[in-house]
């Protein structure tokens, strides 16, 4: 078994192969010089921690060795020979495979107008995070393009380090992708209370370095200067290998419900692939989330061993900003009606219902873990395709566990 990509998904798949009894060769190929590490802390704890920054490893060298997993890192896979069933590496060597998993992840979407700027950066890797952290000293003027999760998490981290921050978002509000307006408003108010200046509905027309800083010119004609600009406008799936090998591509490497590509001996999982979600009528989606990477790594391993299991997990996302935690189960845009439930001081959950009253998503926000338990119960209700009564969802004294049992 060969796995290309040593991130959360790839490592989870490698370990799952062993856990499920596979005794043959397992090769894990990663392009970075570090041991496999988790990405969520890069925009949060790694930016703000007082201790010397270090990546949070997914698996130590000892654990990989104990499991008999051979890690090639740093190594780059140049091509896939589907007929010969082998991958070619940049050092000229080749690794044969019986089954191949592509867990190649995604890369930050680049802004063409920022190519010439030396003061514009992106966050994806641990090395990117180190470079950004090294600049975040008190008083540094930071501009962030993109009002999504990454941009806002970095804005919150920079404020904790004493940096003035301006966030520029082209759309009418922040978190337009998959987050309800009521929750986005709470997030924006929290950022404003912590000194972040958010400018929505502002397209960026030009980016250019001026002295030791960068000038951002907006479509309105206004401009602002910063010492550093972070671009966080989404990610694009890494499909180059798959595309060159002739595999199907559809907003990522196209896979079926078992995560198999158009080649039955090649699977894809995690940020790089799009797949059908049965609970939403086979809607094809691509998810960029920590838990999806874990779940699909485990599922891919089972199916590489012939299990033939379909993907059935409910999408789940989270973001920590200041003392707030936002959690979403399901896809909120599948809903046409929203029911609000108060779950404590400063915390609430929005239940998103389809036209027939089926619960299709739940979005919650509040301090700490105040919404975690109810979001987990809602996730289970979504998976069971339940139609809970609206008035009971809204009533704070109704136990969601009772609705699930009913």
Mind giving me the DSSP string for 179-203? Answer: --HHHHHHHHHHHHHTTEEEEES--
Contact 67, 36 (CB under 8 A): no
Give phi and psi for 360, each to the nearest 5.
-115, -15
User: For position 91, what pLDDT does the model report?
Assistant: 93
User: For position 49, what pLDDT does the model report?
Assistant: 86
Contact 4, 238 (CB under 8 A): no
Residue 50's pLDDT band (boundaries 50, 70, 90)?
A: confident
Contact 311, 299 (CB under 8 A): yes
d(CA 213, CA 207): 11
Peptide bond into 259 cis (omega under 30): no
**How far is CA 68 from each of CA 65, 100, 119, 299, rounded to the nearest angstrom?**
5, 17, 43, 20
Rg (the chain; Cα; Å) = 22
Return the structure tokens found at 386: 């339940």
Please check the confidence at residue 51 and state whether its pLDDT lies above 90: no
User: For position 325, what pLDDT does the model report?
Assistant: 96
Tens of pLDDT, residue by residue over 318-339, are 999 999 999 999 999 999 999 9
Residue 344's pLDDT band (boundaries 50, 70, 90)?
A: confident
CA angle 47, 8, 31 (to 5 degrees): 85
d(CA 369, CA 365): 9
Helices assigned H by DSSP within 245-307: 290-304
Percentage, residues of the chain above pLDDT 90: 97
402 strand-pairing partners? none
Please check the confidence at residue 312 and state whether its pLDDT lies above 80: yes
Could you say which DSSP state residue 300 is in? H
d(CA 64, CA 247): 30
User: Which domains are assigned to the chain?
Assistant: 2-107+236-304 (3.50.50.60), 110-231 (3.50.50.60), 323-405 (3.30.390.30)
Please check the confidence at residue 152 and state whether its pLDDT lies above 80: yes
Tens of pLDDT, residue by residue over 224-244, are 999 999 999 999 999 999 999
Residue 389's pLDDT band (boundaries 50, 70, 90)?
A: very high
Please check the confidence at residue 99 and state whether its pLDDT lies above 80: yes
Number of H helices, E strands in the chain: 11, 26
**How far is CA 292 from each of CA 143, 311, 383, rounded to the nearest angstrom?**
30, 10, 15
Tens of pLDDT, residue by residue over 278-302, are 999 999 999 999 999 999 999 999 9
User: For position 125, what pLDDT does the model report?
Assistant: 97
The overall longest dimension of the chain from CA atoms, in Å, is: 65
Give phi and psi for 288, each to the nearest 5.
-110, 90
Percentage, residues of the chain above pLDDT 70: 100
Closest to 229 (Cα-Cα) out of 172, 174, 171, 168 = 168
User: For position 178, what pLDDT does the model report?
Assistant: 86
User: For position 67, what pLDDT does the model report?
Assistant: 98
């Amino acid at each position: 078994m060969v796995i290309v990509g040593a991130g959360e998904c790839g490592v989870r798949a490698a370990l799952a192969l062993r856990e499920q009894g596979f005794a043959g060769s397992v090769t894990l190929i990663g392009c970075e010089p570090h041991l496999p590490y988790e990405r969520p802390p890069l925009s949060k704890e790694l930016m703000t921690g007082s201790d010397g920054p270090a990546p949070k490893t997914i698996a130590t060298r000892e654990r990989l060795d104990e499991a008999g997993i051979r890690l090639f890192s740093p190594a780059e896979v140049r091509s896939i020979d589907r007929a010969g069933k082998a991958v070619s590496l940049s050092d000229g060597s080749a690794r044969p495979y019986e089954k191949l998993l592509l867990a190649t992840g995604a890369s930050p979407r680049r802004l063409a107008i920022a190519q010439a700027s030396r003061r514009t950066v992106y966050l994806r890797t641990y090395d990117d995070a180190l470079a950004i952290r090294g600049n975040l000293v008190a008083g540094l003027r930071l501009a962030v393009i993109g009002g999504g999760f990454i941009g806002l998490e970095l804005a919150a981290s920079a404020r904790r380090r004493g940096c003035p921050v301006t966030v520029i978002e082209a759309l009418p509000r922040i978190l337009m992708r998959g987050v309800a307006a009521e929750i986005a408003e709470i997030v924006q108010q929290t950022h404003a209370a912590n000194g972040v200046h958010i400018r929505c509905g502002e397209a960026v027309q030009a980016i250019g370095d001026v002295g030791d800083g960068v000038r951002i010119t907006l479509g309105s004609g206004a401009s602002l200067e910063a010492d550093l600009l972070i671009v966080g406008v989404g990610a694009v799936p890494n499909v180059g290998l798959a595309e060159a090998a002739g595999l199907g591509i559809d907003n990522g490497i196209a896979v079926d419900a078992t995560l198999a590509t158009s080649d039955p001996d090649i699977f894809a999982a995690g940020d790089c692939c799009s797949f059908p979600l049965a609970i939403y009528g086979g809607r094809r989606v691509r998810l960029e989330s920590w838990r999806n990477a874990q779940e699909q790594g485990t599922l891919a391993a089972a199916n590489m061993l012939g299990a033939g299991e379909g993907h059935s997990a409910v999408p789940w996302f989270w973001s920590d900003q200041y003392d707030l935690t936002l959690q979403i189960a399901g896809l909120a845009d599948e809903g046409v009606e929203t029911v609000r439930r108060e779950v404590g001081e400063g915390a609430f959950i929005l239940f998103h219902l389809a036209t027939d009253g089926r619960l299709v998503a739940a979005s919650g926000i509040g301090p700490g873990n105040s919404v975690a338990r109810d979001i987990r119960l809602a996730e289970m209700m979504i998976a069971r395709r339940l139609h809970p009564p609206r008035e009971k969802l809204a009533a704070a004294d109704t136990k969601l566990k009772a609705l699930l049992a009913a």
